[in-house]
Amino acid sequence: MQSFYTIGVVGHVDHGKTSLVRALTGIDTDRLKEEKERGLSIESGIAPLILSSHLEVSFVDVPGHRDYLKNTIRGLSQVDAFVLVVAANEGIMPQTLEHIQILEIFGVRNGILVITKVDLVDHELVELAELELREAIPESFNLFPQVIKFSAQSGEGKKEFWDAISWLNSQISPKSSEAPFRMWIDQLRVFLGYGTVASGTVQRGSLKEDDLIELLPVKLRIRARSVESHHRKIMKAYPGQRIGVNLTKVNQEEIERGMELVTPDSIKCVPYMNLCIKNFSSDLTLKDKQKVRAYIGTSTYPMQLILLEKKVLSPGEEGYAQLRATESIGILPGDKVLITPLNIPKVVGGGTILEVTQRKARHKLEEPTTKTLHSLNNKNYEEFLSILSSDNPLLDTSQIKDRYFILEERLSAWVARQLEQKAFVKISENQFIRSDIIEFLKSNIVDIINSTLSENPIQISVKKAELIDKLCNNSQYKDLLQKTQVLDLILSELVSNGALEVEDGGYVTTSISVTLPNELAQLSQIIIDFSQKSHINPFSADTIWKSYGRKIDKNQIKKVLNYLRAKRVLVRINDGRFLNSASLEEIKKRIATVIKQKEFFDIHDCKDAFGYGRTVAVPILEYLDRIGFTIRTEYGRKLKNERN
């Protein structure tokens, strides 16, 4: 598969960035009329360079003038590496340093240092510019060992530059093409008869013609009518590739630069993000509740900065904070954020999003919030997950990945260890519950069933819905019980180990012994006696009620009938009437005798066998079919299993 990546070309205004790109690619990235008239870049310009059949890079030539800082930030937010340009005749300038800050905030650390215009000064000034340049670079940056000395006029340094590009390619880690698609929009064009074309750099995943994608944050679903890269139609776009996507059914008013195109439902929009923020300014402070401008991807939003540990971040200091947008935006843990004052084009701070959330961080939440953020920021994932699991009975790994900046392989390894140590129990593909919670719920379930049946002896069993209601009185486990399969898992285990039995669509404990109150015990005996006297004649609650002169509460009769059915003293046949269990066995014997004599039992045999006709007999016969004693054929009923 072909590899693609982008290289940001940065440096102070008029230091030769555009000339360098033109010398390397033959492309003039200053395409606007105003840019040509003023001799400086206003928008970021793109210049592709095919290095081999397997490698293509795109140079992003960003503006060097402070007035166009917004465009510089947008251009650098998507690059994989950088070329830092310093003119030999001027050396380090203010925008040089600011561009270095932007690269550091966005985590772009692989790069090449180039000193341009070496033909304009003597050797000593070139050496001084190199020394000054090396001192300005953070130690965390990974640089090509040689500083390239370049002249656009003579072509000096071009060969060395190609060596540096080859080295740079070996330093860049490939992005996942298997992940869901994501692309921030940095250019928008509308073509008559063709429609809207959104351009950007593929951050992850892939895109093909006619793929369904979602426009965030407006959550508009659209299709990619076609996909192009540098004016060439392509079958499939890959991470790192510069593409233009022709979008279907989207109006110019519905889309703007700074939005993003993603695989549908792959990114949730949230208004708040928690991060560790560093003040990169030399003279500006960051204050709690300050209004700032935040840059994420190619988007920019006014936000409120909430400092979680202190009231002020002085130059060079860092601390945990929450950024609050006025609307929900499509962001992910791990996204980089750059901050400027609301109305001043100057980089003041930035950091990596550690958590995306719908919840405001308030004073009472600040301590646990900063504790988890501290663990994430220091990549102490063991500590982070221990904190998370101690506060939450359920861990949903898909939700953790969506919300927190944690490496998936580290999360999977931690979960595997917890399962091996039996600290957690797996209840679904992505959901795990602490073992101590499982044991607590098991004990509670048995206690609830025992107490419920003891308080109401005539109740046959406790249904699942009733269990949930009573367990949910502890609000801590309400979501756990209502939104997961944990209760089914626990009930199944309790049944399999003999602690519970399934009865009448509910559950009873095998250890409980319920004694009916005297009044109900007497009624129970009355009904048992009545059922024995009725012999093979079915009866109902109404039958008993009338037989005893309507003096017994009919509802109590019904409850005791169901109680006795659950205890298998009685059986309920298909029309809701009852028979004594011994009487049903007698009916079965009589049917078996008839079938043995004539092979079938039909409706005309009822009178001789039972003493009553089809009206009474049919519900009994249908019940016997249902329980698998008999089977109905066109000639009559046969024993389903001759062993019966």
Please give the CATH topology (third level) of the domain spanning 269-374: Elongation Factor Tu (Ef-tu); domain 3 (2.40.30)
CA dist., res. 185 & res. 203, Å (int) = 11
Top CATH class, 390-515: mainly alpha
Residue ranges of the chain assigned to CATH 2.40.30.10: 182-262, 269-374
CATH superfamily of 3-171: P-loop containing nucleotide triphosphate hydrolases (3.40.50.300)
Q: Is the model's pLDDT at 126 over the cut of 50? A: yes
Q: How confident is the model at residue 287 (pLDDT cuts 50, 70, 90)?
A: very high
Mean pLDDT, the chain, whole residue set: 88
Strand (E) or helix (H) holding 190: strand 187-191
Q: Is the model's pLDDT at 276 over the cut of 50? A: yes
Residues known to be catalytic? 14, 17-18, 65
The CATH code belonging to domain 518-639 is: 1.10.10.10
Average pLDDT (570-591) is: 91
**In whole angstroms, how far apart are CA 427 and each of 390, 395, 463?**
18, 10, 21
Q: How confident is the model at residue 501 (pLDDT cuts 50, 70, 90)?
A: confident
Q: Is the model's pLDDT at 372 over the cut of 50? A: yes
What are the two backbone dihedrals, phi and then psi, of residue 250, each rounded to the nearest 5 degrees? -135, 125
pLDDT in tens, 189-201: 888 777 899 999 9
Name the percent of the chain lying above pLDDT 90.
50
Strands 55-61, 3-10: parallel, antiparallel or unpaired by DSSP?
parallel
Residue 46's contacts (CB-CB under 8 Å, 6 or more residues apart) are: 29, 58, 59, 60, 61, 230, 242
CA dist., res. 530 & res. 539, Å (int) = 9
Residue 579's contacts (CB-CB under 8 Å, 6 or more residues apart) are: 531, 534, 536, 538, 539, 570, 571, 573, 587, 620
Cite the DSSP H helix spans in 39-174: 69-76, 94-105, 123-136, 158-171
For residue 123, the 8-state DSSP code is: H
CA dist., res. 631 & res. 311, Å (int) = 82
The CATH code belonging to domain 182-262 is: 2.40.30.10
Average pLDDT (247-269) is: 91
Residue ranges of the chain assigned to CATH 3.40.50.300: 3-171
pLDDT in tens, 200-211: 999 999 999 999
CA dist., res. 293 & res. 101, Å (int) = 16
